[in-house]
Amino acid sequence: MRSLVVLFAVCLGLMCFANSVSDSINDFGFNIFKVLPAEQNLFISPTSISMALTMTSFGAAGKTLQEMLETLCLSKFEERDILKSYRELVKFLNEKSEYYELRIANALWAQQGYPFLESFLKVVSENFQAPVEEVDFVDSVQRGQTRAKINKWISDVTNGRIPELISADDIDELTRLVLTNAIYFKGKWLYQFDSEKTQKDVFHSITGDVEVDMMKISQDFEYYEDENVQVAKIPYIGEKLYMLVVLPKKGRSIREVEERLNSKVFSKWIANTSLTKLDLSMPRFKFRNRFSLVKPLMELGMVLAFTNYADFSRMTPVNDLKITEVLHEAFIEVNEEGSEAAAATAVIMGIKMAFASPIVLKLDRPFLFFVVEKSQNLVLFMGRVVDPTK
């Protein structure tokens, strides 16, 4: 089988409560988050991964397509509705703002001379704003140049934060298509932390106490708490996006909170916040992750697409393609001014809560965070901080 590469820099327990494509993206993100490495810092872009795989699904058919849609939590939607939602989403996320930088981009890198169906290329190009560029994966010299070209495209979109998603080992002479998605965000807090108030403090990581730079602010924030978690929305300037921080209550593990997470729980957190005076402490942190998502996706039930039984007959009449790799890399930096985040995904295909006095919210133990687009409650990025020093 020839290969298809998707890049992003047994279905037991799979939860899909989606009422919209945004919910689908969120649920898919929550599901894949649970099967990625536990008890370590983690950062991904559900939006990036979902978009790259959804593009790929429009070339799939039969059981292969069914597995992909179920894994992506999209099986309840008609294809025309999925296309309309993604078409509007790409346009919406790329709207210019004077307050923050946010951009998302897609591209297809197709082997020159290979018989891709025009119908597939048209659907992806028109609905995901994914231009198609013919390249050469077959010739070894040209393949190196192609890899450099794709990596430069990703680096440009992510402002240099994901400089080399694809390594030389990720593509070979059997690669026929690389589908890429890259997303970048940089925003300043609406209420910035005073750097003069930042001081050394203790963070209780899973493996032991570590010293961190702890930022502090006393301000009114949207806040919610229940018997399991404390939740706060930290808005960015422009107030169209915010970071949601989720701290498990003492006696609750971060893993317990993650296991219960789905779009219904997430929506409850968001809907039930109320303006509350908070004494908020949050560590500075910066880290990146790079993953192959093949095994996690297979664990969620997307199996056939990676085998010689894959059916991508809506992509090529030859139907000799399978996904050989799904790569995802993401970067996040949070400081007193705001945060910067970037992610890239590539699919490589080859041949087959209110109180009278301030509430203390001190993020001094493992917590979850989400960068959320406010109008659609869409999770652009999500992560787990276990040790801010790593």
Across 355-364, average pLDDT: 80
What pLDDT, in 10s, does the model give residues 253-307? 999 999 999 999 999 999 999 999 999 999 999 988 998 999 999 999 999 999 9
CB 70 within 8 A of CB 294: no
Across 233-259, average pLDDT: 94
Q: What are phi and psi of 204, to 5 degrees?
A: -90, 85
Q: What dihedral do alpha carbons 293, 185, 240, 230 form, nearest 10°?
A: 60
pLDDT at 20: 84
More confident residue, 10 or 248: 248
What pLDDT, in 10s, does the model give residues 334-350? 999 999 999 998 888 88
What pLDDT, in 10s, does the model give residues 6-22? 444 332 345 555 568 89
Across 88-113, average pLDDT: 91
For residue 19, give every residue at least 6 positions away whose Cβ sits within 8 Å of its Cβ, in sequence order, or none: 263
pLDDT at 351: 76
CB 116 within 8 A of CB 318: no
| pTM, to two decimals | 0.91
Asked if residue 353 has pLDDT above 80, the reply is no
The mean predicted confidence, pLDDT, of the chain is 90
Say how far apart CA 352 and CA 64 lie, in whole Å: 11
CB 157 within 8 A of CB 116: no
Question: 160's torsion region: left (phi>0), alpha (psi -120 to 50) or beta?
Answer: left
pLDDT at 1: 47
Per-residue confidence band for 44, with pLDDT thresholds at 50, 70 and 90: very high
Across 75-97, average pLDDT: 92
Structure tokens at 35: 């099967």
Q: Which of 345, 266, 343, 246 lies closest to 23 in space, CA to CA?
A: 266
Percentage, residues of the chain above pLDDT 90: 81
Helical H runs in the chain?
21-35, 46-57, 62-71, 79-93, 118-128, 140-157, 254-260, 263-271, 294-299
Asked if residue 383 has pLDDT above 90, the reply is yes
Q: What are phi and psi of 252, to 5 degrees?
A: -110, 135
pLDDT at 319: 86
Say how far apart CA 78 and CA 1 lie, in whole Å: 30
169, 253, 298 from 346: Cα distances, Å: 14, 33, 16
pLDDT at 72: 97
At position 164, the amino acid (one-letter code) is: E
More confident residue, 32 or 357: 32
Asked if residue 170 has pLDDT above 50, the reply is yes
At position 364, the amino acid (one-letter code) is: D
pLDDT at 5: 47
Tell me whether residue 38 is exposed, middle or buried, using C-beta atoms within 10 angstroms of its C-beta: 0 to 12, 13 to 18, 19 or more: middle
The count of other CB atoms within 10 Å of the CB of residue 175 is 27
36, 81, 97, 291 from 297: Cα distances, Å: 10, 24, 34, 12
CB 356 within 8 A of CB 182: no
Say how far apart CA 173 and CA 95 lie, in whole Å: 38
Q: What are phi and psi of 306, to 5 degrees?
A: -100, 5
Asked if residue 313 has pLDDT above 70, the reply is yes
Domains of the chain (ranges, CATH numbers) = 2-385 (3.30.497.10)
Say how far apart CA 146 and CA 150 lie, in whole Å: 6
Structure tokens at 171: 């593509």
Asked if residue 359 has pLDDT above 60, the reply is yes
CB 209 within 8 A of CB 331: no
